[in-house]
């Protein structure tokens, strides 16, 4: 029986990425520690989150060494869903702004349900 030999990656790659994930986590925690507010805070949180997720997928899930067809088959649908969610958010803002422009600000106040 012929022995099948798989591709081996040096452990140093995993240790470097592991260290990089610790550094990125440190910066992510520093965003909270520095008490940043507003868009800068959420932008930094999302950037660090996507960087960490990208390194985990690329290295620890071995996506870096896969063929392009498999990468697209796995990463394409979530990317398409994110684009569709972004388009729905744009449409929702447009519809809300149009309603306010046409009808004016809402004066509706919800009523408490009657007690029995």
- Higher-confidence residue of 71 and 33: namely 33
pLDDT at 2 over 60: no
Over residues 19-66, the pLDDT tens digits come to 999 999 999 999 989 988 888 999 999 999 999 998 998 888 888 888
DSSP 34: T
The token duo for 68 is 């392009």
The length of the chain, given as a count of residues? 116
Contact criterion met (CB below 8 Å) for 14 and 59: yes
CA atoms lying within 13 Å on the CB side of residue 23? 8
């Amino acid at each position: 029986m012929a022995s099948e030999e798989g591709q081996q990656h040096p452990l140093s790659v995993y240790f470097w990425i592991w260290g990089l994930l610790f550094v990125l986590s440190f910066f992510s925690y520093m965003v909270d520690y520095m008490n940043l507010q507003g868009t800068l805070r959420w932008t930094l949180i999302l950037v660090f989150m996507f960087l960490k997720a990208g390194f985990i997928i690329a290295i620890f899930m071995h996506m870096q060494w896969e063929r392009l067809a498999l990468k697209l088959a796995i990463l394409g649908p979530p990317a398409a869903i994110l684009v569709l969610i972004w388009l729905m958010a744009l449409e929702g803002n447009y519809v809300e702004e149009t309603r306010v422009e046409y009808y004016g600000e809402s004066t509706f106040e919800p009523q408490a349900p009657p007690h029995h």
